[in-house]
Amino acid sequence: MTSRFQPRAAYRALRAYDVVPSSCEIELSDNTSPFGPPPTALQVVRAATSQDASQYPTTYSRPLREVLARHIGVSPDEIMVGAGSDEVMSAAFRALGDPGARVAYMDPTFVMARVFAASNSLDPVPVPLTATYDADADALLATRADITYLCTPNNPTGTNVTTATLDRVVREARGVVMVDEAYAEFAGTNIAATAPGRDGLLVLRTFSKAFGLAGLRVGFAVGARALIAELEKARGPFSVTAASERAAQAAIEHDVPWVMERVSELCKVRDWFAAALRDVGHAPLPSAANFVLVPVADAVAAHAALRARGILVRHFAELAGIGGALRISMAPRPVMERVLDAMREAVPCA
């Protein structure tokens, strides 16, 4: 008998994003903070009350938007908050693209850009990076895409989109340009502050990386008022929980110096670790994020060898233009010294 259930056509060829649950002594696979939540944000979570669970959060996260506006340097009406930048990205695709609209994206880049484009009935168009791992402005613009997605620093390469490339794509793209700035704190950039004044630019940010609040699911977008107003329609009024909203607000109001001290530490460790890898024959890509990407001959075997030594990293069997690679999140130097020793012992150079 034929089932009455039929998924949308856009979903039939999609596979759900899946990460096999695992645990290791040293977890360096997801680019989250090794230091945990900032102290004031953690106090807010621990002080959560029954009212936080039984009552709806504020409509469209207005108090958090006001705090973020001061932090970024824009107006609250130029910010949309969502349950992680994942939700913000998906809402943007729903709001800004009719079915069949083309989404051009850097390849390789954050995998959910392709997934959310496809799941919202849009047409994802991969555009390979240049030989220097920059976004290819000529090729991106040639797609005449309705939405162009850039990630800087890029995940998984860690490389920045150059200012010249970004400016040209924003200036000349046919449609909206979505810039994912998830790792901005590590790169020392604030493209988000410029978004309201640049036609068609939407910038995504998150609390999951530098701010150590990945489990609370808070992200936001910055853009012109008219653009943000359209995204709000696709987001819904009560997306972010009350406790998550207040913890993120506390982190911005009280914990930024604490966060940035740890960002500085990880950046120093990143640069040391990359140099040490080069000294033993590896060729990590230049990184402006809190991780490094290391090309290897056999990523599956390298992943298994590190895991056998209690170290969990992210492996890619075949990245466009790169081949097999390991993405290694940063942690305090004593941890990374163990990782370096394991790389020397168990992972042949590409």
335-349 residue pLDDT tens: 999 999 999 999 999
* Gap between the Cα atoms of 72 and 221, Å rounded: 11
106-141 residue pLDDT tens: 999 999 999 999 999 999 999 999 999 999 999 999
Angle at 22 between CA 21 and CA 24, to 5 degrees: 155
Q: Parallel, antiparallel, or unpaired: how do β-strands 102-107 and 123-128 relate? A: parallel
What amino acid is encoded at 165 in this protein? T
pLDDT value at 23 more than 90: no
Q: At what angle do helices 256-279 and 242-254 cross, to 10 degrees?
A: 80
> 125 forms bridges with which residues in the sheet?
104
Q: Could you tell me the domains of the chain?
A: 9-36+257-346 (3.90.1150.10), 39-255 (3.40.640.10)
Lookup result for tokens 């899946």: 18
Cβ–Cβ < 8 Å for 296, 322? no
pLDDT band with cut points at 50, 70 and 90 for residue 101? very high
R_g of the chain, CA atoms, integer Å:
20
Residues near 131 by beta carbon (within 8 Å), at least 6 away in sequence: none
Mean model confidence pLDDT for the chain: 95
274-319 residue pLDDT tens: 999 999 999 999 999 999 999 999 999 999 999 999 999 999 999 9
Max CA pair span of the chain? 64
Question: 18: buried, middle or exposed (CB in 10 Å: 19+, 13-18, 0-12)?
Answer: exposed
